[in-house]
Structure 1
Amino acid sequence: MPSTEETKPLAVLLDIMETVVTEPFLEVMPRYFNMSAKEFLAEKDPRSWIEFEHGNITEEQYFASFFSDRRKIDGEGLKQAMYDAYEWLPGMEQLLSKLKESGFPLFALSNYSDWYLMIDEKLKLSKYLNWDFVSCKTGHRKPDQEAYLGPTASLRLKPEQILFVDDRQVNIDGAQKVGLQSHLFTSSDALETMLRNNNYLSE
Structure 2
Amino acid sequence: MVSLLSRAPYLAYLPKPTSSSLRPPQPAMSSSSAAAPVEAAAQPRKLPVLLFDVMDTLVRDPFYHHIPAFFQMSMKELLESKHPTAWSEFEKGLIDETCNAGVTCPRSTGAARNTAVFLFAVTLQTCEAPSCRTGIGRHAPCEARRGVQTLVAFKKPDNELAKKFFNDGRSFDLEGLKECMVRAYEYIDGVEDILCCLKKNNYEMHAFTNYPVWYQLIEDKLKLSKYLSWTFCSCRTGKRKPSPEFYLQAIDHLNVDPASCIFIDDRMVNIEAALSVGMVGLQFKNAEALRKDLCALGVELPPLVCEGDAQVQ
> Is TM > 0.5 for Structure 1 vs Structure 2?
yes
Residue type matched to 2:80 in 1?
A
Instruction: Give the paired residue count.
Output: 201
Residue type matched to 1:147 in 2?
F
> SS at 1:133's partner residue?
strand
The whole-number CA distance in structure 2 between the counterparts of 1:107 and 1:190 is 20
Residue type matched to 1:54 in 2?
K
Does the 8 Å CA contact 1:7/1:160 hold for their aligned counterparts?
Answer: no
Q: Partner of 2:103 in structure 1?
A: none
Matches within 5 A, 1:183-194: 183-194=282-293
Q: 1:104 Cα shift? A: 0.9
5+ long unaligned stretches in structure 1: none
Do residues 106 (structure 1) and 106 (structure 2) align?
no
The whole-number CA distance in structure 2 between the counterparts of 1:46 and 1:189 is 35
The whole-number CA distance in structure 2 between the counterparts of 1:74 and 1:202 is 44
Q: 1:201 Cα shift? A: 1.3
Q: 1:199 Cα shift? A: 2.8
The whole-number CA distance in structure 2 between the counterparts of 1:42 and 1:202 is 44
Q: 1:6 Cα shift? A: 3.3
Do residues 6 (structure 1) and 10 (structure 2) align?
no
Matches within 5 A, 1:8-23: 9-23=47-61
Do residues 84 (structure 1) and 183 (structure 2) align?
yes
> SS at 1:132's partner residue?
strand
1:126-164 CA distance string (max 9 Å, x none): 100100101111111111001111111001111111110
Identity level (%): 41
Matches within 5 A, 1:4-83: 5-7=12-14, 9-60=47-98, 61-83=160-182
The whole-number CA distance in structure 1 between the counterparts of 2:184 and 2:166 is 21
- TM-score scaled to structure 2, two decimals? 0.62
Pair 193,175 (structure 1): closer, same or farther in 2 beyond 3 Å: same
Kindly indicate which of the two structures has a greater share of residues assigned to helix.
1
Q: Partner of 2:251 in structure 1?
A: 152
> SS at 1:131's partner residue?
strand
Residue from 268, 274, 278 that aligns with 1:175: 274
The whole-number CA distance in structure 2 between the counterparts of 1:163 and 1:149 is 14
Does the 8 Å CA contact 1:176/1:182 hold for their aligned counterparts?
Answer: yes
Q: Partner of 2:26 in structure 1?
A: none
> SS at 1:81's partner residue?
helix
The whole-number CA distance in structure 2 between the counterparts of 1:46 and 1:87 is 27
Residue type matched to 2:91 in 1?
E
5+ long unaligned stretches in structure 2: 1-9, 16-46, 99-159, 303-313
Q: Partner of 2:126 in structure 1?
A: none
Residue type matched to 2:211 in 1?
Y
Matches within 5 A, 1:130-145: 130-145=229-244
Q: Partner of 1:97 in structure 2?
A: 196
Q: 1:106 Cα shift? A: 0.6
The whole-number CA distance in structure 2 between the counterparts of 1:123 and 1:172 is 25
Does the 8 Å CA contact 2:14/2:48 hold for their aligned counterparts?
Answer: no
Q: Partner of 1:166 in structure 2?
A: 265
Q: Bigger shift: 7-16 or 44-53?
A: 7-16
Does the 8 Å CA contact 1:101/1:202 hold for their aligned counterparts?
Answer: no
Q: 1:96 Cα shift? A: 0.4
Residue type matched to 2:69 in 1?
R
What's the C-alpha RMSD, in Å, of the aligned pairs?
1.4
The whole-number CA distance in structure 2 between the counterparts of 1:26 and 1:110 is 17
Q: 1:98 Cα shift? A: 0.6
Mark the structure with the bigger radius of gyration.
Answer: 2
